[in-house]
């Protein structure tokens, strides 16, 4: 994947590591990635994944360090995918998404899944619409019954608090305690419509750090989880803030994420962003080797779902390490860290230096040297001709986008150089 990368030499600098550019804050809580691309991700409008693709995606997600894979299990296709994933014996655990009804749990049991998430709303907005005749106590009883039933059948359970960020804390506390007592091990704070706030001063119900402190102080649940939606564009911030808030309070904190942030409406927190941030800013070294596959996983997700990441998408986008303007390319050619936060190869991406309307002499020289396979003297008149030819393409209005390699090669020849393939 890296052979077309514009290598400019920083990788060989033995005296400098990009890690020196990060003031890492080590965590006293272990973050665990629960990827729900195969559940929430494919609930995204117009998206479906075949069993063959689901299996390969599960394999790749396991390879990058995802420890829990959340899946649907109601349709024939989903069930076929689960069987095939189980046959691979991955390190990642499979977790089936269930409603608080016995029939869903029975279905998971029939498929030999060992872990389930039981989803139930915790806010009045949902109660009033879905169950206007039932009291919160009756609803809680229903959920507790489901947790006990699952526990009695040997399942590991994480409990979802749907719409947690708009719930009344007195009810939510009771819900967490009752389900923990019934056997749930993890409580998932579901920021269902993305109104969670990362500021430690923000109050309940939508202040995420305060909620996490309250859960520690006032409930018996062992671990917590954050499932953030992106309606206000805050998913990654809210996910990382929740992990930070769990620091020193819990042994484990689960981050529920999807590749490319796929999911309902504006989607979820991106698996690739959460992992890379945790590695770079918090020194979560267990992700180090897996990060290299992020670009490949992202490309595969696009192939399997038809959802293509925009070019400027962080980490895995085609332009995440692309440089064109004179100032930027000149800087990157001398030291890539002038305009790059980390080496592209860390996440399996590549650097692209392109020739365009703002390109200067340095990048034209660099790209021409790649074409002819030898160093060009900065005073070589042919280089001056080549720079003029490039500039001419744009000043004449003939061209707006970056030059393709073949077009640039043609200009190199017109400037009087002999390229490698024409010698």
Smallest distance, Å, CB 263 to Zn ion?
6
Place of tokens 């305060």: 210
Q: Is the dihedral of CA 293, 294, 297, 298 positive or negative?
A: negative
Q: Which residue has the CB atom at the shortest distance from Zn ion?
A: 40
| SS3 annotation, 52-96 | HHHHHHHHHHHHHCCCEEEECCCCHHHHHHHHHHHHCCCCCEEEE
Smallest distance, Å, CB 258 to Zn ion?
9
| Residues 414 and 377 sit within 8 Å (Cβ to Cβ) | no
The token duo for 136 is 């919160």
Smallest distance, Å, CB 235 to Zn ion?
10
Smallest distance, Å, CB 97 to Zn ion?
10
Nearer to Zn ion, 262 or 364 (CB): 262
DSSP class of residue 355 equals: -
Nearer to Zn ion, 33 or 411 (CB): 33
Nearer to Zn ion, 31 or 267 (CB): 267
Smallest distance, Å, CB 256 to Zn ion?
8
**How would you class 289 by CB atoms within 10 Å of its CB: exposed for 0-12, middle for 13-18, buried for 19 or more?**
exposed
List of residues contacting Zn ion (CB under 5 A)? 40
Smallest distance, Å, CB 2 to Zn ion?
35
Nearer to Zn ion, 68 or 345 (CB): 68
Angstrom CA distances, 73 to 55, 100, 107, 224, 407, stand at: 14, 15, 8, 24, 51
Nearer to Zn ion, 26 or 233 (CB): 233
| Residues 292 and 33 sit within 8 Å (Cβ to Cβ) | no
Nearer to Zn ion, 16 or 74 (CB): 74
DSSP class of residue 309 equals: P
Nearer to Zn ion, 34 or 340 (CB): 34
| Residues 137 and 173 sit within 8 Å (Cβ to Cβ) | no
Which of 354, 353, 271 has its CA nearest to residue 315?
A: 271
Smallest distance, Å, CB 177 to Zn ion?
24
């Amino acid at each position: 994947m890296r052979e077309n990368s514009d290598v400019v030499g920083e990788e060989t600098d033995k005296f400098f590591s990009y890690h020196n550019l990060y003031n890492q804050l080590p965590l006293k809580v272990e973050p665990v990635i629960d990827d729900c691309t195969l559940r929430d991700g494919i609930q995204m409008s117009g998206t479906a994944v075949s069993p063959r693709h689901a299996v390969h995606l599960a394999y790749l997600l396991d390879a990058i360090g995802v420890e829990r894979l959340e899946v649907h299990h109601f349709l024939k296709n989903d069930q076929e995918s689960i069987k095939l994933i189980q046959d691979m014996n991955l390190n990642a655990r499979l977790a089936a998404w269930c409603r608080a009804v016995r029939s869903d749990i029975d279905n998971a049991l029939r498929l030999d899944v060992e872990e389930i998430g039981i989803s139930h709303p915790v806010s009045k907005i949902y109660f009033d619409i879905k169950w206007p005749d039932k009291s919160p106590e009756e609803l809680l009883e229903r959920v507790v019954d489901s947790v006990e039933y699952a526990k009695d059948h040997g399942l590991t359970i994480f409990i979802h608090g749907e719409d947690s960020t708009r719930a009344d804390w007195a009810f939510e506390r009771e819900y967490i305690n009752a389900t923990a007592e019934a056997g749930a091990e993890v409580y998932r704070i579901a920021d269902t419509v993305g109104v969670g706030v990362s500021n430690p001063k923000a109050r309940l119900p939508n202040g995420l750090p305060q909620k996490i402190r309250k859960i520690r102080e006032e409930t018996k649940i062992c671990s917590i989880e954050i499932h953030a939606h992106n309606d206000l564009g805050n998913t990654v911030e809210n996910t990382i803030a929740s992990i930070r808030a769990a620091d020193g309070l819990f042994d484990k904190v689960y981050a529920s994420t999807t590749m490319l942030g796929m999911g309902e409406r504006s989607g979820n927190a991106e698996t690739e962003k959460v992992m890379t941030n945790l590695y770079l800013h918090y020194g979560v070294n267990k992700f180090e080797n897996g990060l290299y596959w992020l670009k490949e996983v992202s490309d595969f997700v696009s192939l399997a779902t038809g959802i293509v990441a925009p070019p400027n998408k962080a980490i895995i986008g085609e332009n995440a390490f692309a440089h064109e303007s004179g100032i930027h390319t000149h800087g990157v050619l001398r030291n890539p860290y002038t305009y790059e936060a980390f080496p592209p190869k860390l996440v399996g991406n590549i650097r692209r230096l392109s020739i365009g309307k703002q390109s200067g002499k340095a990048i034209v020289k660099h790209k021409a040297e790649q074409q002819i396979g030898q160093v060009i003297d900065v005073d070589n008149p042919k280089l001056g001709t080549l720079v003029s030819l490039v500039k001419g393409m744009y000043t004449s209005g003939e061209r707006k986008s970056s030059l393709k390699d073949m077009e640039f090669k043609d200009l190199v020849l017109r400037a009087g150089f002999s390229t490698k393939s024409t010698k």
